[in-house]
Structure 1
């Protein structure tokens, strides 16, 4: 999509959003930036190591194609030195990976209730025994059901999946839709993120959440460091804008708070906005509109100005 700033300009900044979102492009429309939605391979059978390759491929494509040739049937092209990356939920994790593994680094990152701020927390390692602590308060899975023992045997690589339920309360995304809450309930998420079987149990037994950052670096196998962003943040990490609902039951607001705190200590520019009472996906709730006066829109307006300044 192209939104020219003026008729005389032919190169524009690019905002890369990891997986499409109903309001992800509102800042680009207002700022006059290019906007693309980039998919990535989903967990199982792939791991986060494959996702690093995916986000690198996006930047390679931009530099080798969109930055050299006009986009579509226009005269416009992308300025490869003015790129920002954003995402919501797991897309926020992908944005963090871009800030670490892509060279040259993006000018700015945006994380909307994003994962990756503290993957070594008890939420990912302890397992869940009460439905009140499950994502969205959903019922616990009956782990004695043989179907839940084979649900991880997915062989098809996918880059997108449906979400939600049909009129008979069946998940639109099939078994894949239940993978995240099931894996969180079992306390095995890091096994599938890293591809290291048994890692979650080892780290849980070591109570890694209570260890210092230096100790965590020693306790986590080096082969897994690349996919655990909190272990690799440094002073050259791009400026980031973090937005998170205070009532998020899917990705705790603690994750955004952890990233904000860690980056401030490193001297990296960070902006953290807490949306009071917001559950996961609060900006996609029924009745919200990308227009003046809408509470969520008003909350996001500073983000628009921030992105404009970063991509000037």
Structure 2
């Protein structure tokens, strides 16, 4: 399937206070079925499961409908009769992890409300979102809000399964995130404007943002965003300061990088450790898809999460794409998809749909 075949989404503001929006995609097959006059007359609402997707961008940039959103993957779920919701959330710096978690709570409250604009729009097609059958998809940096939904038991309704797609937010104390690097170690597939990043740092991250889409630059052909928040993310990578912004704890990265990996978690203040979203026995089942040659979100991120899930006896599956870069791309081009990417995604989609069907009443 192609992006062109994706249904046009309906857009809703799920948080009117912070003006945060989501896109709703409805399976075409379900829309066709709603022409049934008998169902309309009886006001019968067909319950559909939903996939809630959080976009990538290093938790600092990106948007629900930007260049890096995997629309073809959305199509695979729509083909299975699953509603797809692609949601924005407040982005780190100046916003905090606490803000993002609050956004996830607000979103899930909204999705479970029978009186929301989204619920009324679905009802016009004799449909309803089954809040007992929700899956979360974390795409790259969007794995942070997805992991929040999967691990924080007070966020309700509880998702039934967590799909981690080349996600970060599984191991913030890796050298990859806390050690400093030289400018030549910036990811070559992205343009990087160090001056623009520094200007945002000087403004403490700039204005609060929940929508910073990536586009392809007409000048360089590289992914860019007008807000320069993508540059801010690359800056945090090169300076090894992502943990500072996740925990809203300036200087913590400089402290932990001086210690061996095994000692770093213990250095996180007790009051801030919850923002690392620890896995426990209440975490929902998970499936991971990740490229083994990912230089943006190293495979070790997924391996750490899988170990934590295993230690707490939580069911988990995984499909590695041997040799794939971030986004499951071919590292030779950074544009073409890896030839094994579709098979790995299909395996994960089957697992997620299986979990949603198990939850059907």
Q: Shared fold by TM > 0.5?
A: yes
Quote the residue 1:126 is aligned against. Answer: 179
What is the number of equivalent residue pairs in this alignment?
A: 297
What RMSD in Å do the two structures reach over aligned CA positions?
2.7
Q: Distance in 1 between matches of 2:225 and 2:192?
A: 19
Q: Distance in 2 between matches of 1:197 and 1:41?
A: 19
Matches within 5 A, 1:221-236: 221-229=269-277, 232-236=278-282
Quote the residue 2:352 is aligned against. Answer: 307
- TM-score of the superposed pair, with normalisation by structure 2: 0.74
Q: In the alignment, which of 261, 268, 273 is matched to residue 319 of structure 2?
A: 273
Report the more deviating stretch, 169-178 or 30-39.
169-178
Contact (CA 8 Å) 1:17, 1:24: kept in 2 or not? no
Q: Name structure 2 gaps, 5 residues minimum.
A: 1-24, 40-44, 56-63
User: Partner of 2:207: helix, strand, or coil?
Assistant: coil
Deviation of the 1:87 alpha carbon: 2.0
Q: In the alignment, which of 225, 232, 235 is matched to residue 182 of structure 1?
A: 235
Quote the residue 2:125 is aligned against. Answer: 74
Matches within 5 A, 1:1-312: 1-3=25-27, 10-19=46-55, 20=64, 21=69, 22-65=71-114, 69=120, 71=122, 73-101=124-152, 102-129=155-182, 131=184, 133-136=185-188, 148-152=197-201, 153=203, 154-169=205-220, 171-207=224-260, 209-211=261-263, 216=265, 218-229=266-277, 232-282=278-328, 286=335, 288=337, 295-312=340-357
Q: Name structure 1 gaps, 5 residues minimum.
A: none
Q: Distance in 1 between matches of 2:144 and 2:252?
A: 20
- TM-score of the superposed pair, with normalisation by structure 1: 0.85
Q: Distance in 2 between matches of 1:62 and 1:53?
A: 14
Q: Distance in 1 between matches of 2:354 and 2:326?
A: 28
Report the more deviating stretch, 52-61 or 66-75.
66-75
Q: Distance in 2 between matches of 1:201 and 1:141?
A: 23
Contact (CA 8 Å) 1:112, 1:242: kept in 2 or not? yes
Contact (CA 8 Å) 1:130, 1:140: kept in 2 or not? no
The 1:159/1:138 distance shift into structure 2, 3 A limit, reads: closer
